[in-house]
Amino acid sequence: MEITGISSAENGRRGDLGFLDGDGKSTGSISSDISALVVNEANRINVPDGIPFLVSAFPRHVHSVAAGILFRARQLDWGGEELVSPDSVIDESAKLAPGVVVAPGAVIGAGTFIGANAVIGPGVQIGQNCQIGPGSSIQCALIGDHVKLLAGVRIGEAGFGVMPGPNGPEDAPHYGRVILQDHVTVGANSCIDRGAFDDTIVGERTRIDNLCQIAHNVVLGRSVLVAAFGGISGSVKVGDGSMLGGRVGIADHVVVGEGVSLAASAGLFRDVEDGQTWGGTPAKPIRQWMREVAWLQKNSNPKKKG
């Protein structure tokens, strides 16, 4: 059997190698087109009939070893003394401040400004009339039109994917991209990680404040607002028009509906339906949370009896 690509088990295509890890009790859907899987003992029973598989105590590690043979990140082969590669495509109306580095295959659209000492990685595409702040770095990303990235933004770094290996914890490789749609703004020193296999996506007119962390495979809808110090874990989905207050944290794989409001410092661990307002940690509907806070205050400070 010839393996030509790697993928998640859910989205695998013909020629792809995927993996199944965990206790085997809850697995997502498995693509019927995937060519082969690496699984642990607990997941042998979850392999569909007709799909070949290998068994390992460290299936994701084995999967990553295979991926390392098949693929190599373009930035690892980027070298030379030129700050702006002759193999990049930069519109004549774009402006580059001193110290800007542009890698081979990068594309910068008309009217875009790139701030001092920013780094535009291999194959990155930036649309028209964008503003990229000084000291920013962009890797593995597609940037739409009228996008603003303030100083020190990090786009497309690998996420915090840690997997068990034969010698202890290892960094899981990431092969997805970051896609920022039109009119997105990302505040200073915020980070948006690229996807593990699929893409991290930020929808049109979404606003992300300073010092926020958006993890791998997150999907933010249109016109989402994320206030400062927000932290969104991997594979979270946030619907259009939702608002996240300062210091909001969302656990991985949570689905937030459209038009949802999360109060400042909320810690969200479960799905929220459209239009609701939640607060507290663990987060819950706002009225319930406020009643609990009021009850606690009342009963923790009882009036003295004379």
Q: What is the mean pLDDT of each run of 10 residues along the chain (306 residues)?
A: 90 93 82 94 92 94 92 86 95 98 97 98 98 98 98 96 89 92 98 94 98 97 98 97 98 97 97 97 95 88 62
71 CB neighbour count, 10 Å cutoff:
12
62 and 146 inside one domain: no
181 and 272 inside one domain: yes
The whole-number pLDDT of residue 22 equals 85
| Domain boundaries, position 152 | 140-288
For 12-71, give the DSSP string: --TTEEEEE-S-SSS-----TT--EEEE-GGGGGGSPTT--EEE-S-HHHHHHHHHHHH-
161 and 34 inside one domain: no
38 and 146 inside one domain: no
Domain boundary among 71, 89, 108: 71
Q: How many domains does the chain have?
A: 2
Domain boundary among 15, 45, 71: 71
- Specify if 31 maps to a domain: yes
- Specify if 272 maps to a domain: yes
66 and 147 inside one domain: no
The whole-number pLDDT of residue 11 equals 87
The token pair that represents 139 in the structure block: 């890797």
- How far apart, in Å, do the first and last CA atoms of the chain sit? 85
- Specify if 191 maps to a domain: yes
Domain boundary among 40, 71, 102: 71
- CA 13 to chain centroid, in Å, comes to 22
181 and 271 inside one domain: yes
- Specify if 100 maps to a domain: no
Query: Catalytic site residues?
Result: 216
Contact 132, 118 (CB under 8 A): yes
